[in-house]
Amino acid sequence: MINVVSYDPKLKKTQHGGAELLDAWRNSDDQLVWIDIESVANDNDEELLREFGIHPLAIQDALRPRHPPKIERFDDFLFILFRGLDADTDGLDFGVIQLSLFIGERFLISRHIGKSISANWLFAQLKSEPRLMAEGTGALAIRLSNRLARRYVEILLGLEPRLDEIEDEMFQRPDDSLLSELTKYKSRLRNINRIAKYHEQIVARLQRTGDPLFPEFLQHEIVDLYEQVERTQSLANLYYQIATDLTDGYLGMSSHQLNRVMQILTIITVIFVPLTFLAGIYGMNFENMPELATQSGYFAVIAVMFVIVVIQLYYFRRKRWI
């Protein structure tokens, strides 16, 4: 599926449509166009990209199902590859899509497999504020990238209340499901942190190089984009550390509870050792055991056992083992 937005600076008119709008752009010297391609890799995509003078190596990277985020300058365009969140993402159980941007002086081409929330957001913005197209293709690319970066921040901020809840549940209702949940969060946060590092390198290069596709008035937008990416990375690191601390705390509490159980079992075992010893001696039934003929022998042995238990409990209490 191809969505196209074109802008005629002479008429100051913005049009929304499909591939039919490209003919007017081809016959013009000053029209601007944004082409958004939502599809899997196919020959039509490659043919369209070649028509815009996109380098074969950039096309190859864009059509791959998975490629690390990158930025590369070619003679007539700038190629940026982002990794965005898919349309079904509303928390840390996220999926990613590859968003390729080809930014030329008169065109912006974005390509992704599956629905892009960021692209749809920008389309809505252009419908409500058509003048945004007049700011140029670089401005559109930065706005699209900024929205993509903000989605990461939004899902990370949504995690903080849950981490607070887990901390409370650890003391009230400790359960192994909490450990499983924390482990899942740590894995997701590592992925986000890795993606944010790639994005940070891309935006840092945009800041350093001062590409002519991004006029001076966009510097604040680029700085804001960098701050969003940096915040994503810092939040991912922070929440990863919190999740690690909670995991360590849960394991410590579990270990402490296990030690308490083992302590109680050990105390019970120690109490019954002398009792078992006495029962073993008087259970041998030798004929010449004088205590067997004693009328009060049974009660005497029971009394001795009771005294032994009391002495042991007193000792354990003084040692604060129980």
- The model carries a pTM of 0.79
146/208 Cα distance (integer angstroms): 18
DSSP per-residue codes, 33-74: EEEEEES-S-HHHHHHHHHTT--HHHHHHHHSS----EEEE-
Q: What is the mean pLDDT of residues 32-38?
A: 91
* Bridge partners (DSSP) listed for residue 103: 78, 108
Kindly tell me the burial class for residue 258, based on how many C-beta atoms sit within 10 Å of its own C-beta (0-12, 13-18, 19 or more): exposed
Name the more confident of 259 and 116.
Answer: 116
pLDDT per residue over 51-66, tens digit each?
A: 888 999 998 898 888 8
- Confidence check: pLDDT of 173 > 80: no
pLDDT value at residue 42: 65
Across the range 99-104, mean pLDDT stands at 93
Segment 84-113 shows an average pLDDT of 90
- As a whole-number percent, the residues of the chain with pLDDT over 90 amount to 38
Please return the burial class of 261, using the count of CB atoms within 10 Å of its CB with bins 0-12, 13-18 and 19+: exposed
C-alpha angle 195-199-205 in degrees, rounded to nearest 5 = 150
Whether the per-residue pLDDT at 234 is higher than 90: the answer is yes
Element (DSSP H or E) covering residue 103: strand 96-103
The partner residues of 36 in beta bridges, in order of sequence, read 3, 110
pLDDT band at 43 (very low <50, low <70, confident <90, very high): low
> What are the C-alpha distances in Å from 128 to residues 14, 142, 253?
11, 18, 55
Other CB atoms within a 10 A radius of the CB of residue 80 amount to 23
Q: Average pLDDT in the 142-170 region?
A: 91
Q: Would you say 83 and 198 are in contact if contact means Cβ atoms under 8 Å apart? A: yes
**Tokens linked to 193:** 């942190």
DSSP classification of residue 28: -
CA distance 114 to 38: 6
> Residue 294 is which amino acid?
T
d(CA 12, CA 125): 17
Every domain of the chain and the residues it spans: 2-254, 282-318
Looking at residues 280-294, what average pLDDT do you find? 78
Q: Tell me: domain 2-254, CATH 3.30.460.20, correct?
A: yes
pLDDT digits (tens, 9 = 90+) for 243-258: 999 888 888 777 777 7
Q: Cα–Cα distances in Å, from 277 out to 41, 307, 310?
A: 80, 15, 17
What is the C-alpha separation between 256 and 266, in angstroms, rounded?
A: 15
From residue 230, give the alpha-carbon distance in Å to each of 144, 153, 163, 197. Answer: 17, 10, 21, 8
pLDDT digit string (tens) for 288-318? 777 777 778 888 888 988 998 898 888 888 8
